[in-house]
Chain A
């Protein structure tokens, strides 16, 4: 093989961050602060990543609206929301450091909404014991990504925009580079680097109804998996209970949980506030059992319990589905979300301006006067690349990961607001981890030209297979297959999906993208099919093996949580022959100090410090 790589444009960095959402930006800022020559590549323009879509807020126990809050209560809420499947150390670090990371954003220029005495205001959200979400109206993600972007551009980070990563390159097992291509020219580009931080987000695009944009095709998860990293708990995919459902073209667009945080209620076609019928036993003690009590909570009565609309997302999403199944759904197969009768118009416009705008423009619904129609939409993947909780390093030396593309932090279900805090805390830690790793490298790393040649050949293939498959239509077929790996699952459906995915693979290898490689969305789509199919298979296989219902994973043939599965993580990696290895792994026993918090009474934690 004649593998000449000298003509490929090449950049040299100490670390390359792949993905420029909140996690990637925070990681790059830390790398740069640690003195590393930092490159960052992103598929879109800087500042457009999915973090802009985060609406409700960032969870951190600042204690500004309820002084009883502290990191231990946040930790307890997170573990209980995750159905005790979270990685203990990650949940601990997350709860401990979230508040500092939020305050740091304020020092970098973020402008959060204020309390009457001038501090960062916090709003209630599902599964959080106290009002805990620092927010900027309902566009908190935009505030955070813009703050990181505007701070980051002055920190000496080399940003390579509209550049897609294709393959991680290794030198005897260690990361030594990344091969990518520029979207505008289609030309290949090589990054020689000592470490890579993966921060590419999830893979929502494998499902039809999703709040995710075109970027969320799982490429980071696939690149890491192909390079030898392990994946954890891929079966847990979060369906946000409230997506828009009408008109059809907006189906899936997110309606922030902040609507319920601000007092919005869910109603069925009989005008019944049905969530009172669905409170799980585990949360009964902490949840209001009547509309009267829920109203007192909204009015600020500290002794009243939270309304059931603020139960965790897995519970609310399934409750809406059950109402629809029972024939009490809204006209387009969802539920009504009503804020109009709960708050005055001016308040709604001030606290939920994007929601007001979004419904007015896209659905011709005035949410200050009318009810919204909502239903579940795929929003987030709890599963992902397995990392060490302290350093964020994967099983591959030199490969780190943070943000949504990782797994473990959120267990079986993520609490709203815990993603923005996750990406800040673990972006920061990944930067530190990369610095420590790069610092102890003792020899120069090599690039193996043959590895590049192989990847290049594979990448250009779709441009040359005339008469091959249409990438857009194949994507639709994948989404159809995933209807069997949806919010509720059965063994039969999952087996059918796995079988269909096997049949899809050779067709994916036979995709044809018309045109040249220059800014060609068809070709880009073709290249994202392999990662999407790989992630789809991982989700389906993990879902098949977990024979219980827990958090976001619901098996109609295995109802309820099974005790024996409470101690099991599902781990995956790639076998030498390219097949998928899947294992049930016994979880570590939690350290005493964390177990004590997780199982503590709230009163013990609220008093504070003796635990």
Chain B
């Protein structure tokens, strides 16, 4: 057992400050355990979100020593006893209280994505997909919606362009639908216009912080950007669209 200092942001949307707490830390503890101990012994009204405490629900995202982390998966033995451990809420979203912020914007983004639309089933009423084809989608579906990727995305965090870009989480959601073997919906125009795929400049910060190790940038965002480019910017396809467009116009008149 050893004693650590935690410097925790306490406050609400109007004002706040960092408050120091000294606390005992036992072997094997994670940051969330320590926060719970502080809550039980010193700060009963300290707000934080958590649920599963096993890295599966994505509730306890916060910034520990400036890095976005799941508190339940961040082991105390990665820090030195003499270091002060600073804990604060995710910076990209408005604070409600203490370590809890308002992430409702994310739920609004999800609504912008057209839902899954399966094609017809086989003649026996069932669907067939090969494991190889679903592997790619399953990677994206591991997402636990912790929003750490949203927190570090420059477009959202620094440039505050929440009005034009849905962020990495919803790019992988779009990818999980667009690459779903059964799905027949066309989302390419939306991915460009509504979801803002062009705003991502591929710095891979989102991928670096993903606790599920999803290759957000390489496997989801870049392929979506390519699909958009193929549709709108490929010169041959562009020409083809023009020509067939002329032909269609011609046949209509």
Bound complex: CA of A46 vs CA of B73, how far in Å? 21
Q: Which residue of the partner chain B has the closest CB to A44? A: B51
Q: Mark B108-151, 1 if CB is under 8 A from A, else 0.
A: 00110001101000000011111100100110011011000000
Whether A117 contacts B115 by the Cβ 8 Å rule is no
Whether B75 contacts A52 by the Cβ 8 Å rule is no
Whether A358 contacts B180 by the Cβ 8 Å rule is no
Whether A361 contacts B115 by the Cβ 8 Å rule is no
Which residues of chain B come closer than 8 Å to A109, judged between CB atoms?
A: 115-116, 118, 177, 180, 183
Q: Which of A46, A114, A213, A246 contacts B50 (CB 8 A)?
A: A213
Bound complex: CA of A358 vs CA of B53, how far in Å? 10
Whether B144 contacts A52 by the Cβ 8 Å rule is yes
Of B41-49, B154-162, B199-207, B215-223, the stretch lying at the interface with chain A is B41-49
Whether A153 contacts B144 by the Cβ 8 Å rule is no
Bound complex: CA of A268 vs CA of B12, how far in Å? 52
Of A79-87, A122-130, A465-473, A594-602, the stretch lying at the interface with chain B is A465-473
Given A46-B107, A119-B126, A357-B55, A111–B75 Cβ distance below 8 Å? no
Q: Which residue of the partner chain A has the closest CB to B34? A: A249
Q: Mark B7-51, 1 if CB is under 8 A from A, else 0.
A: 000001000000000000011111001000001110011111111
Q: Which of A111, A471, A521 contacts B48 (CB 8 A)?
A: A521
Decide if A214 is an interface residue (CB 8 Å cutoff): yes
Decide if B58 is an interface residue (CB 8 Å cutoff): yes
| CB of A117 to closest CB in B, whole Å | 7
Q: Which residue of the partner chain A has the closest CB to B27? A: A247
Which residues of chain B come closer than 8 Å to A121, judged between CB atoms?
A: 131
Decide if A561 is an interface residue (CB 8 Å cutoff): no
Which residues of chain B come closer than 8 Å to A142, judged between CB atoms?
A: 56, 141-142, 144
| CB of B77 to closest CB in A, whole Å | 9
Given A113-B131, A118-B128, A249-B33, A514–B44 Cβ distance below 8 Å? yes
The secondary-structure label for the interface of chain A is loop
Q: Which of B40, B45, B51 contacts A516 (CB 8 A)?
A: B45
Question: Taking each of A118, A121, A254, which has the highest tally of chain B beta carbons within 10 Å of its own beta carbon?
Answer: A118
Decide if A441 is an interface residue (CB 8 Å cutoff): no
Bound complex: CA of A497 vs CA of B73, how far in Å? 35
Whether B127 contacts A106 by the Cβ 8 Å rule is yes
Q: Mark A185-229, 1 if CB is under 8 A from B, else 0.
A: 000000000000000000000000000011100000000000000
Number of interface residues of B (CB under 8 A): 58
Given A48-B59, A519-B100, A471–B44 Cβ distance below 8 Å? yes
Bound complex: CA of A80 vs CA of B26, how far in Å? 44
Question: Taking each of B26, B47, B56, B129, which has the highest tally of chain A beta carbons within 10 Å of its own beta carbon?
Answer: B56
- Which B62-118 residues have C-beta < 8 A from chain A? 73, 75, 96-98, 100, 102-104, 107, 110-111, 115-116, 118
Which residues of chain A come closer than 8 Å to B180, judged between CB atoms?
A: 109, 111
Which residues of chain B come closer than 8 Å to A361, judged between CB atoms?
A: 55, 73, 75
Whether B56 contacts A111 by the Cβ 8 Å rule is no
Which residues of chain A come closer than 8 Å to B33, judged between CB atoms?
A: 249
Decide if A503 is an interface residue (CB 8 Å cutoff): no
Whether B128 contacts A117 by the Cβ 8 Å rule is yes
Decide if A589 is an interface residue (CB 8 Å cutoff): no
Whether B50 contacts A358 by the Cβ 8 Å rule is no
Q: Which residue of the partner chain B has the closest CB to A513? A: B44
Bound complex: CA of A515 vs CA of B42, how far in Å? 12
Which residues of chain B come closer than 8 Å to A151, judged between CB atoms?
A: 115-116
Bound complex: CA of A425 vs CA of B41, how far in Å? 43
Whether B51 contacts A136 by the Cβ 8 Å rule is no
Which residues of chain A come closer than 8 Å to B26, judged between CB atoms?
A: 248-249
Which residues of chain A come closer than 8 Å to B40, judged between CB atoms?
A: 470, 472-473
Whether A53 contacts B44 by the Cβ 8 Å rule is no
Whether A521 contacts B47 by the Cβ 8 Å rule is yes
Q: Which residue of the partner chain B has the closest CB to A149? A: B110
Bound complex: CA of A253 vs CA of B54, how far in Å? 7
Q: Which residue of the partner chain A has the closest CB to B117? A: A109
Decide if B236 is an interface residue (CB 8 Å cutoff): no
Q: Which of B50, B52, B97, B127 contacts A184 (CB 8 A)?
A: B97
Which residues of chain A come closer than 8 Å to B243, judged between CB atoms?
A: none
Q: Which residue of the partner chain B has the closest CB to A516? A: B45
Whether A44 contacts B49 by the Cβ 8 Å rule is yes
Decide if B184 is an interface residue (CB 8 Å cutoff): no
Whether A111 contacts B52 by the Cβ 8 Å rule is no
Q: Which of A108, A254, A473, A520 contacts B45 (CB 8 A)?
A: A520
Which residues of chain B come closer than 8 Å to A118, judged between CB atoms?
A: 128-130
Bound complex: CA of A50 vs CA of B53, how far in Å? 11
Given A47-B145, A213-B53, A362-B73, A111–B58 Cβ distance below 8 Å? no
Decide if B57 is an interface residue (CB 8 Å cutoff): yes
Bound complex: CA of A392 vs CA of B41, how far in Å? 43
Decide if A551 is an interface residue (CB 8 Å cutoff): no
Decide if A483 is an interface residue (CB 8 Å cutoff): no
Question: Taking each of A114, A121, A154, A246, which has the highest tally of chain B beta carbons within 10 Å of its own beta carbon?
Answer: A114
Which residues of chain A come closer than 8 Å to B45, judged between CB atoms?
A: 513-516, 520-523
| CB of A184 to closest CB in B, whole Å | 5
Which residues of chain B come closer than 8 Å to A161, judged between CB atoms?
A: 104, 107
Bound complex: CA of A361 vs CA of B28, how far in Å? 10
| CB of B102 to closest CB in A, whole Å | 8
Q: Which residue of the partner chain B has the closest CB to A470? A: B44
Whether A515 contacts B44 by the Cβ 8 Å rule is yes
Bound complex: CA of A107 vs CA of B184, how far in Å? 12
Bound complex: CA of A44 vs CA of B28, how far in Å? 27
| CB of B146 to closest CB in A, whole Å | 10
Decide if A233 is an interface residue (CB 8 Å cutoff): no
Which residues of chain A come closer than 8 Å to B134, judged between CB atoms?
A: 111, 113-114
Given A119-B128, A513-B45, A107–B118 Cβ distance below 8 Å? yes
Whether A249 contacts B116 by the Cβ 8 Å rule is no
Whether A139 contacts B128 by the Cβ 8 Å rule is no
| CB of A109 to closest CB in B, whole Å | 3
Bound complex: CA of A47 vs CA of B52, how far in Å? 12
Q: Which residue of the partner chain B has the closest CB to A253? A: B54
Decide if A450 is an interface residue (CB 8 Å cutoff): no
Given A48-B59, A153-B111, A361-B75, A519–B98 Cβ distance below 8 Å? yes
Q: Which residue of the partner chain A has the closest CB to B115? A: A154
Whether A153 contacts B44 by the Cβ 8 Å rule is no
Whether A52 contacts B110 by the Cβ 8 Å rule is no
Q: List 9 A-B contacts (CB under 8 A).
A: A53-B52, A107-B118, A213-B57, A214-B50, A249-B26, A250-B53, A254-B54, A353-B142, A516-B45
6 further contact pairs, Cβ within 8 A, besides A136-B138, A247-B28, A247-B29: A50-B51, A114-B129, A121-B131, A214-B51, A358-B55, A361-B73
4 tightest CB-CB pairs across the interface, nearest first?
Answer: A247-B28, A515-B45, A118-B128, A522-B44
Chain B residues with a Cβ under 8 A of chain A: 12, 26-30, 33, 39-41, 44-59, 73, 75, 96-98, 100, 102-104, 107, 110-111, 115-116, 118, 126-131, 134, 137-138, 141-142, 144-145, 173, 177, 180, 183
